Amino acid sequence: MGAKGDQTLDKKSLLWAYVLWLFGGIFGLHHFYLRRDRHAFVWWTTLGGFGIGWLGEIFRLPRYVRDANEDPQHMQELVSRMRQNKKPPFSMNRFTGMLMVGYSWGQMMMLAVPPDEFWGLNLRYLNYLIPLVAALGVWTVGNIGREQGNLKWPLLAAYAAYPIRFYVYDETVWFTLMVLASALAFDTYSKEWKRTSRRHNLVKRIAILGLCAALYVSLWCSYLYFHGTITDSEGDEIPIYEALHHFFTSPWWLDVKQCLIDTYQYAQHHGWYEVWKQIIDLSDPHGEQNAYKVLGVGPDATQQQITSTWRRLSRENHPDKVKDEVQRRAAQERFMEIQQAYEILSNSKHRRNRRNKKDNSEPKTNGHQEM
């Protein structure tokens, strides 16, 4: 009874599946919700199967939900298909998906390999991982849903076809032949029914998907670093790895680096709480620093000096003195800015007085200590 109750609580909603499909479908959110993690990862790496697969799922979602809930009628139909077919029948949609994902992942691996030496190392031998990544794309799509298969045959076929690149110099041709051989090997020798489905807990699922996502993102980062370019103000293209190297020697970065070092050293002597207090003060949460700037007075000004300055600026910038409509609007904005600055400083006069008294007392203490 307890197990049955847990299963009932874990029922998936068709409505939620459609909501996630609509608002996060190209990233595979609905597949993750339905515990189709491989499908979710494929959708994330290809943005919904290059958009085409995501649109086509609008009619397949009810079947996915029934499969996730192990609906009795759906399971009965599945058992009947398994009895009629010793292995899953050929599916053009799945086979096309294996080709597209295998090609996409393999291309990503090829583009991620550095074309030149990096830190004195020649990393071109990493090109021999291209068949492995392409075969992994084929294998991942082949293991979606109620079908499965091992990696051995698509991997062997990909490596068997890989030497074609040394005889056919057209990259599109040899790459397509390699992925096609891998997909045919999986469909012919590896594919079989997935008769039982293992359900991992949420933490383990997220950990596995996170690791796979990190590996895929690392390929993108490598591609952008070694092959990407940026355009400067004069229209010249600069490789990203050169731009990053020069960035870390630029005056702007050196100033920022020195500022961070000074902040760390200050924190070591005074504590991080004092650093935090200074950050809050510099962010001017009360607007006092800007108010001083508007009125043209210093932080050590008395309330009498602030009031005198406010009256003078209010008379000089009163909008009634301006006849031109455009200038009057500008004068009115300036006048309102002056009023707001005076209001801020008037409301904070007690806090300002305390701060000024503290600042005036510190030099005397320091002077006494120096003597």
As a whole number, mean pLDDT of residues 188-203 equals 88
DSSP per-residue string spanning 99-167: HHHHHHHHHHHHHHS-SS-BTTB--GGGGGGHHHHHHHHHHHHHTSTTEE--SHHHHHHHHHHGGGGGT
Provide CB contacts within 8 A for 366, sequence distance 6+: none
Mean pLDDT of 216-232: 88
Q: What is the pLDDT of residue 283?
A: 79
pLDDT at 63 over 50: yes
More confident call, 336 vs 245: 336
Percent of the chain whose predicted confidence (pLDDT) is above 90: 49
Highest average pLDDT, of 5-9, 208-212, 354-358, comes from 208-212
Summarize the confidence of residues 138-161 as an average pLDDT: 96
Q: Count the residues in the chain.
A: 371
Residue in this structure with the two tokens 């594919």, named with its chain if needed: 191
Backbone dihedral region for residue 170 (phi beyond 0: left; psi -120 to 50: alpha; all else: beta):
beta
Average pLDDT on 166-172 reads 90
pLDDT digits (tens, 9 = 90+) for 93-139: 999 999 999 999 999 999 998 877 767 777 788 899 999 999 999 99
Mean pLDDT across the chain, nearest whole number? 86
Average pLDDT of the residues in 82-98: 94
Instruction: Give me the pLDDT at residue 2, please.
Output: 39
Encoded tokens for 100: 């597209």
Instruction: Compute the average pLDDT of residues 65-94.
Output: 93
pLDDT tops 90 at residue 196? no
Lowest mean pLDDT among 111-115, 299-303, 335-339, 362-366: 362-366
The average pLDDT across 51-57 equals 91
Q: Given this model, what pLDDT does residue 357 score? A: 56
Position with higher pLDDT, 96 vs 319: 96
pLDDT number for residue 147:
94
Give me the domains of the chain, ranges plus CATH numbers: 2-229 (no CATH), 284-370 (1.10.287.110)
Mean pLDDT of all residues in 345-350: 75
pLDDT in tens, 1-46: 334 444 444 789 999 999 999 999 999 999 999 999 999 999 999 9
* Per-residue model confidence (pLDDT) at position 361: 54
**358 — pLDDT class (breaks 50, 70, 90):** low
Taking the alpha carbons of 179, 185, 187, 193 in that order, is the dihedral positive or negative?
negative
Q: In whole angstroms, how far apart are CA 90 and each of 50, 104, 147, 304, 359?
A: 22, 22, 11, 89, 82
pTM for the predicted model, two decimal places: 0.69
Average pLDDT over residues 289-293: 85
pLDDT at 364 over 70: no
Strand ranges in 56-189 using DSSP code E only, listed in sequence order: 147-148
Q: What is the mean pLDDT of residues 209-226?
A: 93
Q: What pLDDT band is residue 330 in, cutting at 50, 70 and 90?
A: confident
Yes or no: say if 246 and 304 are a contact pair by the CB < 8 Å rule: no
- Residue 193, classed as helix, strand or coil, is strand
pLDDT of the residue at 240: 84
Over residues 230-239, the mean pLDDT reads: 81
More confident residue, 161 or 331: 161
**pLDDT of the residue at 362:** 52
pLDDT given for residue 69 in this prediction: 92
Q: What is the pLDDT of residue 199?
A: 78
Asked whether the predicted pLDDT for residue 354 surpasses 80, the reply is no
Mean pLDDT along residues 250-268: 88
pLDDT of residue 356: 56
